[in-house]
Chains A and B, each alone.
Chain A
């Protein structure tokens, strides 16, 4: 079975600091896509960042970046200069070729002032 594991159910970080959310996945596929989605409290889930497995360069979107370790099947999200608006549930998702997206259980991140 192809699964996604987020080992940190809850995390907190002080405003302006850096935090890393972990994600591991299990697959025998060589090509696939990885995503981080953010779900703020009572608001829509939105895409934060995505990575294609065949690309070695780690994706970056402003304060958000990933550390993609293909051999280790790891896809962590780093949030720099954390802001109060980053408080949300974060879902790691993995999509193998020709298959549905698989979501992790989520990490609830709280940014403290």
Chain B
């Protein structure tokens, strides 16, 4: 089974801090995704990566950046955390491309609170 592991289930940070959310997958997938999940809004794509050091913006990239130095690891970075970034963050990976109909495999999520 595909395993997508997010480093933290819960995280509390302060406004202005630089925050790192880590995600690791064990299936050698080329494609990895970061989503934000908010009540009433479903999931929204923040960033997508299709290879090491390659990335594409999603719907809501403002205030975020990503890093993919190794194939199995995809990091989401909040450059200067703000309270409106309090949310659940989901990482996913897939063997197929960004626009494929193949299922994405999700991590457990990181619930981030910015105080």
| Contacts from A to B (Cβ < 8 Å) | 4, 9, 33, 35, 42-47, 50, 52, 91, 93, 95, 97-106
Contacts and interface: CB of A to CB of B under 8 A. Distances in A.
Contact of A100 (B40, B41, B42, B59): B59
Given A45-B90, A95-B101, 14 more contacts: A35-B103, A42-B108, A44-B4, A44-B107, A47-B103, A50-B103, A97-B99, A100-B48, A100-B58, A103-B42, A103-B44, A104-B42, A105-B39, A106-B42
| Chain B interface main SS type | loop
A105 B44 CA distance: 10
B41 to A, nearest CB: 6
Interface of B: 4, 9, 39-45, 48, 58-59, 90, 98-99, 101, 103-104, 106-109
Nearest to B103: A47
B3 to A, nearest CB: 9
A95 B42 contact: no
B2 to A, nearest CB: 10
Contact of A95 (B39, B48, B99): B99
Nearest to A45: B106
B42 A105 contact: yes
Nearest to A47: B103
A89 to B, nearest CB: 9
Contact of A105 (B41, B48, B90, B99): B41
Contact of A4 (B42, B90, B107): B42
Contact of B42 (A42, A91, A98): A91
B115 to A, nearest CB: 22
Interface-central residue, A4, A52, A102, by most chain B CB under 10 Å? A102
Contact of B108 (A35, A43, A101): A43
13 contacts: A35-B103, A42-B108, A44-B108, A44-B109, A46-B106, A47-B103, A50-B101, A91-B42, A98-B99, A100-B45, A103-B42, A105-B39, A105-B42
A98 B56 CA distance: 14
